[in-house]
Amino acid sequence: MYRKQVRRRRAVLALLVLGSFALLTLTYGQSSNGFQRGVSTIFSPLQTVFDRALKPARDLVDWFDETFEARGENERLQAQLQEEREMAVAGQVALQENAQLRKLLEFDRGPALATSAFEPLTARVISRSPIVWHSTVTIDVGSDDGVRVEDPVMSPDGLVGKISSVEGGSAQVMLLTDADSSVSAKVVPEGVQGVVRPEIGDPEDLVLDFIDSTKRVSRGQKVVTSGWRAETIASQFPQGLPIGEVTRASVEEQEASQQVHLRPFADLRDLDFVQVLTGGSR
C-alpha cells in the first residue's frame, strides 16, 4: 500500500516536471498564445480591482521607503540643481543660435524626428512581474484602444519600454530593465550611437553597449533614442525620446568593452501611469 502510494507520488512529480519542460519548450520565444490571452482577459478586470484597492497600502509602504531615501536624495538633488541651472543657461543660448541657423538653412524636420505622428494614450499600471529577470508591467489598455505590439511606452520623465504583447483590454510592457530589452540610442550632443541594454538586478543602471571606442562619452551627457530608419525597416522608437543620463564612462571601459553606464530618467520601480505612443508609422 505504502509502496503504491510512493510510486503514485513519483509519477505525479515526474508528470509535473515533464509538463513544465514541455510547456517551456513549446512556448519559449513566443509573444503570447491563446491560453495566456484567455487568462489575461479573464483576470485583467480583477487585477484592476486589486490594483485600486491596494493603492493606499502601496503608498504607505512607498512612503516609508522614500523617507529613508529622501535624506541622501536631497543632497544629490541640490548639486544636480546647480549643474542643471548652468546647463539651462547654456541651453537658452544654444536654442537662440539653433533658431537662427534653422532660419538660415530653412531646415525641414525629417519624418523620423516627428513624434507628432504618434498618439499618446495614458494607461494605468495594474500589475508587475515579481521576477527580476522579467521586468514587465501590465497596463489597463489594449488592442481595443489602438495599442499594438512594439509601441513605445513613456513616463513623464522618459522612455519606459515597449509593448511586448497585447490583448483586448490589457497589454504587457517590456521595461528597459528586462533581460530581452534593447533600444538603439545615441548620446547627445556628440551623437555617439549604441544600444541600451539592461544590467539585470540593478534597476537604476543601464548599459549603452557597442559604442564607437574612438569617440569619448563623458559623465552627465544625455542619452536619447536614435530612431534610425533604413530603406525598408525603421526603429520602433521615434528619434529623440529621452532615456537617461550617463553616470559612469571610464576611458578603460569605453576602450575595452565599448560601453558606458547610464541611469534611466524614468523611475522604473515606481510606475503608476504611463503613456503609450500609439499609431506610429511602422
Which residues of this protein are in contact with another protein, per CB under 8 A? Answer: 9, 12-13, 16-17, 19-33, 35-36, 39-40, 43, 46-47, 50-51, 54, 57-58, 61-62, 64-65, 68, 125-134, 136, 138, 164-165, 172, 179-181, 197-205, 207, 269-270
Nearer to another protein, 32 or 278 (CB): 32
Minimum CB distance to another protein, residue 57 (Å):
7
In the complex, the smallest distance separating the C-beta of residue 250 from another protein, rounded to whole angstroms, is 15
- Half-sphere exposure at residue 151, Cβ-oriented, CA atoms within 13 angstroms: 31
In the sheet with 260-264, reading across from the earlier edge strand, the strands are: 183-188, 222-225, 242-248, 260-264, 206-209
Question: Looking at beta carbons only, is 8 or 85 nearer to another protein?
Answer: 8
Q: Is the backbone peptide bond immediately before 45 cis, with ω within 30 degrees of 0?
A: no
CB of 203 to another protein, least distance (A): 7
Sign of CA dihedral 125, 131, 136, 138: negative
- 55-105 vs 34-53: helix crossing angle, rounded to 10: 110
Least distance in angstroms from the C-beta of 9 to another protein:
6
Nearest-approach distance from CB 159 to another protein, in angstroms: 17
If the CB atoms of residues 121 and 167 are measured against another protein, the closer one turns out to be: 167
Closest to another protein by CB, 35 or 107? 35
- List of long-range contacts for 164-168, beta carbons under 8 Å, 24+ apart: 164/31, 164/136, 165/31, 165/32, 165/36, 166/142, 167/32, 167/37, 167/40, 167/41, 167/44, 167/142, 167/143, 168/41, 168/142, 168/143, 168/144
CB 268 within 8 A of CB 252: no
Instruction: Name the residue nearer to another protein (CB basis): 44 or 221.
Output: 44
Between 180 and 255, name the residue whose CB sits nearer to another protein. Answer: 180
Q: Cβ 155 to another protein, closest distance in Å? A: 14
